[in-house]
Amino acid sequence: AQSVTQPDIHITVSEGASLELRCNYSYGATPYLFWYVQSPGQGLQLLLKYFSGDTLVQGIKGFEAEFKRSQSSFNLRKPSVHWSDAAEYFCAVGASGNTGKLIFGQGTTLQVKP
């Protein structure tokens, strides 16, 4: 069965510092991978996705993620964090079949210190 693990429940970084949020997945075939961001009390917004091709994916708001098949990982990175990046981040993997179901990780809460 597909699963997603985000090992870090909470991360605090200083504004301007670099960021890496970890995501590991379990999936039998080539996965569809996503990163979503959720601001407090809001729905989720897609940051970026990986389907195939170049393993380094660029997203919105200056985020990028790298798919590493050998490590079953899809870590999210940003070179310089802004205070507005404080939010909850979810990694997700596309489930098998054509239903469009996504399996989400538990989420990582990002706090940004001034």
Residue with tokens 């990163």: 35
Could you tell me the two tokens for 15?
């504004």
Quick one: CA dihedral 41, 45, 51, 54, positive or negative? Answer: negative
Q: Residue 23 CB, nearest distance to another protein (Å)?
A: 12
Please list the residues that pair with 78 across neighbouring strands. Answer: 19
| Segment 50 to 89, residues that bind another protein, using CB under 8 A | none
The count of chain residues that interact with another protein, using the rule CB under 8 A, is 24
Structure-block tokens of residue 4: 């997603």
With contacts defined by CB under 8 A, name the span among 34-42, 56-64, 66-74, 78-86 that binds another protein: 34-42
For residue 106, the number of C-alpha atoms closer than 13 Å in the C-beta half-sphere is: 8
Of 55, 101, 111, 113, the one binding another protein by CB under 8 A:
101
> Binding another protein by CB under 8 A: which of 45, 58, 80, 111?
45
Shortest Cβ 84–another protein spacing (Å):
18
Which residues does 114 contact at the CB level (< 8 Å), separation at least 6?
14, 15, 83
Please report whether residue 28 would count as binding another protein according to CB under 8 A: no
Binding footprint of another protein on the chain (CB under 8 A): 6, 32, 34, 36, 41-46, 49, 90, 94-95, 98-107
